Amino acid sequence: MIIAERKPMDEIKRMLAPYKKVLVAGCGTCVTVCWAGGEKEVAILASQLRLARSAEHNEISIFEASVERQCEREMVAEIKDKVTEVEAVISLACGAGVQTMSEMFEDKPVFPGVNTTFIGMPEKEGLWVEMCGACGDCFLDRTGGICPIVRCAKGLLNGPCGGTRKGGKCEIDPDKDCAWVLIYRRLEKQGRLDLMRNYYAPKNYRAVKRPGRIQAAKA
Amino acid sequence: MNNCIVAFCCEHSAYPAADLAGKLKLHYPENLRIIRVPCAGRVDLIHILKAFEKGAAAVMVMGCEGGACHHMTGNTRTKERVKYCNLLLREIEADGRLVAMFNLSPNAPHKFVGAVNEITKRIKESGR
Amino acid sequence: METKIGVFICNCSGTLNNIDFDAVVKKVVELPGVTSIKFISPLCLEEGKKKMLSCIREENIEKVVVAACSPEFKEHVFREVLENAGLNGHLFSMANIKEQCSWVHEGDVTGKVVELIKMAVSRTRLLQPVKMNNFSVNREVLVVGGGFEAINAALQLSRAGLRTTLLEREAVLGTGTTELENLCGFDINAMVMEVKGDENIEILAPAEVIETSGKIGDFNVRIRKGGEEISRKYGALVIATGYQTKLALESKLKSDVNIVSQEKLCHMLEDPELRIRPRTIGFMLDFADENSRLPTLATLNNALAAKRKWGSEVYVFCKNVKVDSERIERLYQEARDCGVMFLKSDVSPKVAAENGKIKIEAKDIFLGEDINLTCDVLVAEECLLPAEETEALSSILNIRRDSRGFYQDENVHLYPVASEKKGIFFIGGCRGNLDLSRVLTDVSSVVVSIYKLLSSGNILAEVERVKVDPQKCVACLTCIRICPHNAIQLVRVDGGKEVAEICDLACEACGICAAMCPAKAITFQGYRDEEILAQVETIGES
Amino acid sequence: MATPFRKILKTKDFVVTAEAAPVKGSNVSKAIEHIELLKDKVDGLNVTDNQSSVMRYPSLGVCLLVKEHGGEPVLQVTCRDRNRLAIQADLLFAYSRGVDNVLCLTGDSIDVGDHKEAKQVFDLDSVQLIHLIHTLNSGQDMAGNELDGNIDFCIGTTATPSADPLEPQLIKVEKKLAAGVEFIQTQAVYELDELKRFVEFVRKMDDKVKILGGIVPVIGAKMAAYMNDNVPGVFIPQHLIDELAQTPKGTGVAKGIEIAARMIRQMREEKICDGVHIMFIGREEKVPDILEAAGLL
């Protein structure tokens, strides 16, 4: 799932400064699940904006709307009427959603209200961690199902760097585990440590030719 | 409005504490408006923000003491939520201290009145 | 067409004398939705209620607002009036114009009263009925544990007419019960005999719980007994797995000198073949474990016995003697009268072995003197810990423990015996209640609670008062992870999409889930966002 | 002319190298001073590559200065700042100018340095870098194209003998040995038993590779605690910290030198390893004092 985080208010206020009629648009999929852009966050941002602008004596009128997936043109089309009424849109969807909105309403500025950060999973309630780098060349079969591309701070393919901290923690953050120590433990548990002894040649970073494009095979 | 203080009071603690304050005829400012909730945990950010939108001078969220929440984690979660609300207010250059969480037991009417006085003091300090 | 709201105002027999009720009536009558307004005082007595009832009927009132005292005291009274009049009890709000207005402000409060009523009316306009339903429940109870607490509970449940299963880890019942408990007047052997002879009680031993699911009235429990696994259904679960003790002193001292536990001393006192009676005995109390109610009782009992039986010199080194019941007070007095010395110290005394004896160094804070004492036997302090299986069982039950590992101890003043999950109860040691006389209170209150819940075979509960809208739910699992009562589950709607669903029986209506749901998919009748915000938005309008 | 490093490795009993940290700025006079001071006292001068992710004068630039002044340079190459094209190009340039000893490292993370917002590269890792240099040595680039001109680098790498847990590190060392290296320079060690254990492990797989024990003198208890918390891969034991804590004020540097020399002597006398690599960052001028105290001058 895509994980995002609300942008700092300063940035949002700056983007919306010239406008007096704005739509706050939420998305009902990934960003709802990660508490960044669902209906609840839409209401909070809208309220916060109204408060901010009223303190500046520069009233703003705000509409609120959410669609199931902002990265789908058909679903975004459902809120067309509301978009027509406003001068600008602040979208709480991921980058894909913001761009879909921008493309659908080319005459309206559509601003990102969140920073899209990574593909991840909840470690516990309210805490999400990065799991996948969408590299287009999955390596997980060789690493006991732990991705060194994003879970190792350096994306190393042939084992840990020399900076591992005591207890197998990451060089850059004692709160994070060294991915290669995790991989070692997992493979050891599975009796497959030989996988870690293999040499892996430099990765093909063009496995996905950017910008990515996938054509499904026709049935 | 209005310059009222909106107090979301848990029906297991702050609300009965306020009742007791009434029975003892302890006085507190008239601009207090109490909204009864089943647990402090029910109070959401939007409730607090809307109160400010309507012109409230301050918002109090009042729940049970530390380990005594009727629903185990309602008061601690809301404490975190109120802390986040402080941040949301500071982000828009408002005085974050004007939303606050108070923990008290149902038999603490003086603590209830003390909390109201405390928030009233903060309102004065913030210049409203 | 807007529903008709009736407003009833009471001045509590004239005690609300700083309100101009005529002015209030004039303002309130203009509020949208209000079709009738009545001033009746006192409203909560029979005559008032009768008037209210007939008014609701005559004027076809559909929802009610009462402006009077606190709902904490009178909500149920007026709800009953609504229900007698054929209305749903949830279509009702109270404006607390007494305790939270008239009595706490000086001078005329008419304006505030009008506003409080306005807030109540604006909430009431949005209220929706909540249905009640009878859910049938399983009447059998599972008691986990085989000590005197568990046996006692099983016997009482059986007497209350509820079929009970007693599940014990060990092969024999009552093994966990110590000499000390016997000392406190329990005849464990007689209890075991009685429970074995009770037809209403099934004993599974040795056996253990390996999985639980379901909810109050309908728990599914998987049990391992011998080599096989069995599945059972129960209406309620009682956990009485007890506690264990650990000597607080280091073991290296223990081997060559006489450092013993309270229980060991009990054995020594009973031992007819004991050749050498200890001349000097030291006790440690309240240094390692501040929750020392049971150790205090044991110390006083043993100190007295040693004094009387052996005539030993007895010294009790303590931080405090926690004398919190009449019985302990009496024992303490007796001990002092017999010449037991109590030496109070802030820090734990130094203990060393010397020529097969134990040397104790302490500073008595009352005498202000250093005390050096050599004794034959030292009764070391014991830390009280939850039984070994507590941790595993808590994860099987999905129930939290406190910082010391006991069940629920932190929340003791609200939930002495009930867990956060409805239908699961704790007794005695496993919840940190180590005072034997109070354990009996635990047993009684658990039995009464379970009897109330299960005896009729039905539980009357609100239906969908807190509800997930499956259309809006994005299955983010937030509510499932945070529900303090474990009342929410992931289910498939018609075998398709997965959504969260709240179990009406298990839900305690706290609304934490409604506040946390990022999709705003959870509604809580009476405390929906709309109903709360309607009050917020009315504030200050007067 | 200095003796080629590969020849030193083959012939000398106890190899001594020292670290030369490039300057921040274009004024290289300090670097030249250090080179002049050390070039005849050590067998190789090892030049760091944006050490600790702090941007500096390039390793290759200082290596050329070492060469100009008659010393034997060891070029450090990390994988952090350059992709495979840039690394190959830099290596071609280095070799063409006579810099033919390479130390292959992963490189510290960008987060520990002074340009925290930069994009870190890590197109290759250290094992892949070793393979890459062998490819160059064989006359080809990574894409398989023929190269004009002969290349023959002497290849070294690093290891952390005191890592916790150690096993994953050792597996990586195995991979580096399998790829083929002529010398291993360890991360700073403070427990010689750990170094011994490490050398034994390496010897089981490769008895030719030379192992240089890493020495970073610590000059105070505070510095030791700071290094434990902030320098990746460094673990200073409590007994050393205690020893430093008891040192009178103002004598910390002397104490640091004393401890370093004591360890080097032991390494040499007990034949624990094949040499030493001294990293006295910011106090390069004190390296001769250590060498003297260790009896290496």
Q: What is the DSSP letter of C127?
A: -
Give the domain range for residue C55. 5-130
CATH number at C82 reads: 3.40.50
Nearest CB among A168, A193, A200 relative to D165 is that of A168
Given a contact cutoff of 8 angstroms between Cβ atoms, the answer to whether B63 and B13 are in contact is yes
When pLDDT is cut at 50, 70 and 90, the band that residue C428 belongs to is: confident
Split into its structural domains, chain D has a count of: 1
Residue C506 lies in a domain: yes
- In whole angstroms, what is the distance from residue D21 CA to residue D215 CA? 15
Residue D92 lies in a domain: yes
A with D: touching (≥3 Cβ pairs within 8 Å): yes
- In whole angstroms, what is the distance from residue C512 CA to residue C534 CA? 19
Q: Same domain, yes or no, for C58 and C92?
A: yes
When pLDDT is cut at 50, 70 and 90, the band that residue D91 belongs to is: very high
- What residues does CATH 3.40.50.2300 cover in chain A? 2-117
Give the domain range for residue D40. 5-290
- In whole angstroms, what is the distance from residue D21 CA to residue D47 CA? 6
- In whole angstroms, what is the distance from residue C159 CA to residue C200 CA? 9
* Chain C residue with minimum CA distance to B69: C411
- Whole-number pLDDT of residue D234: 84
CATH number at C480 reads: 3.30.70.20
Average pLDDT, chain C: 89
| Measured CA distances, C452 to C162, C202, C515 (Å) | 11, 22, 32
Contacts of B4 in chain C (CB under 8 A): 539-540
Those residues of chain A whose CB sits closer than 8 Å to some CB in chain C are 28-29, 32-35, 38-41, 43, 122, 124-125
Q: Which of residues 54-93 of B touch C (CB under 8 A)?
A: 54-56, 67-74, 77-78, 81
When pLDDT is cut at 50, 70 and 90, the band that residue D272 belongs to is: very high
Question: How near does any CA of chain D get to the CA of A7, in Å?
Answer: 18
When pLDDT is cut at 50, 70 and 90, the band that residue D282 belongs to is: confident
Closest CA to C146 of C118, C165, C160: C165
When pLDDT is cut at 50, 70 and 90, the band that residue A87 belongs to is: very high
List the end-to-end C-alpha distance of chain A, in Å, as a whole number.
Answer: 27
Task: Report residue C179: phi and psi, to 5°.
Answer: -55, -35
Burial status of residue C197 (CB atoms within 10 A of its CB: 0-12, 13-18, 19 or more):
exposed
- In whole angstroms, what is the distance from residue D206 CA to residue D187 CA? 19
pLDDT at D30 over 80: yes
Residue D82 lies in a domain: yes
Q: Which helix (H) or strand (E) holds C53?
A: helix C46-58
pLDDT at A88 over 60: yes
pLDDT at B42 over 70: yes
Tell me the per-residue pLDDT of C220-231, one tens digit each, with 9 for 90 and over: 999 999 889 999
- Whole-number pLDDT of residue C234: 97
To which residue do tokens 């110290």 refer? C345
CATH number at D222 reads: 3.20.20.220
Residue C350 lies in a domain: yes
Residue C180 lies in a domain: yes
Which amino acid does the sequence have at C453? L
To which residue do tokens 């309210």 refer? A126
Tell me the per-residue pLDDT of D254-269, one tens digit each, with 9 for 90 and over: 999 999 999 999 999 9
- In whole angstroms, what is the distance from residue D103 CA to residue D184 CA? 9
Least confident range from C91-100, C147-156, D90-99, D165-174: namely C147-156
Given a contact cutoff of 8 angstroms between Cβ atoms, the answer to whether D91 and D78 are in contact is no
DSSP D178-230: HH--SEEEEEE-S-HHHHHHHHHHHHHH-SSSEEEEEE-----HHHHHHHHHH
Which are the contacts of C290, defined by CB distance < 8 A and separation ≥ 6? C319
Domain boundary among C104, C130, C156: C130
Given a contact cutoff of 8 angstroms between Cβ atoms, the answer to whether C164 and C152 are in contact is no
Average pLDDT over residues D198-218: 95
Given a contact cutoff of 8 angstroms between Cβ atoms, the answer to whether C370 and C363 are in contact is yes
Q: Same domain, yes or no, for C253 and C235?
A: no
Residue C539 lies in a domain: no
Tell me the per-residue pLDDT of C76-99, one tens digit each, with 9 for 90 and over: 999 999 999 999 999 999 999 999
- The residues facing D103 across adjacent strands are D76, D156
| Measured CA distances, C73 to B19, B32, B38, C4, C79 (Å) | 10, 21, 15, 26, 12
Least confident range from B24-33, C350-359, D169-178: namely C350-359
- Whole-number pLDDT of residue D117: 96
Domain boundary among C382, C409, C430: C382
Residue D295 lies in a domain: no
Least confident range from C338-352, C471-485, C511-525: namely C338-352
- Whole-number pLDDT of residue C354: 80
Closest CA to D180 of D163, D155, D197: D155
- The residues facing B33 across adjacent strands are B6
Q: Give CA C506 to chain center in angstroms.
A: 16
Average pLDDT over residues D162-189: 95
Average pLDDT over residues A198-209: 92
Question: How near does any CA of chain C get to the CA of A152, in Å?
Answer: 27
Tell me the per-residue pLDDT of C362-395, one tens digit each, with 9 for 90 and over: 888 888 888 898 988 888 888 788 888 888 999 8
**According to the CATH classification, is domain A2-117 in 3.40.50.2300?**
yes
Average pLDDT, chain D: 94
- In whole angstroms, what is the distance from residue A25 CA to residue A62 CA? 10
Q: Same domain, yes or no, for C363 and C250?
A: yes
- Whole-number pLDDT of residue C411: 60
Nearest CB among A32, A122, A124 relative to C518 is that of A32
Tell me the per-residue pLDDT of B68-107, one tens digit each, with 9 for 90 and over: 888 888 999 999 999 999 999 999 999 999 999 999 999 9
| C261/C34: higher pLDDT | C34
Average pLDDT over residues A180-190: 97
When pLDDT is cut at 50, 70 and 90, the band that residue C65 belongs to is: very high
% residues pLDDT > 90 (chain A): 91
Average pLDDT, chain A: 95
CB contact (8 A) between residue A47 and residue B49: yes
- In whole angstroms, what is the distance from residue C176 CA to residue C173 CA? 8
pLDDT at D38 over 70: yes
Nearest CB among A33, A43, A124 relative to C476 is that of A33
Q: Does C171 touch chain B (CB under 8 A)?
A: no
Given a contact cutoff of 8 angstroms between Cβ atoms, the answer to whether D246 and A177 are in contact is no
% residues pLDDT > 70 (chain D): 100
Q: What is the DSSP letter of C90?
A: T
Domain boundary among C458, C489, C511: C458
User: In the numeric block, which tokens belong to residue C165?
Assistant: 């299963």
- Whole-number pLDDT of residue D82: 97
Given a contact cutoff of 8 angstroms between Cβ atoms, the answer to whether B32 and B18 are in contact is no
pLDDT at C257 over 80: no
Tell me the per-residue pLDDT of A156-183, one tens digit each, with 9 for 90 and over: 999 999 988 888 999 999 899 999 999 9
Contacts of B94 in chain A (CB under 8 A): 51, 55
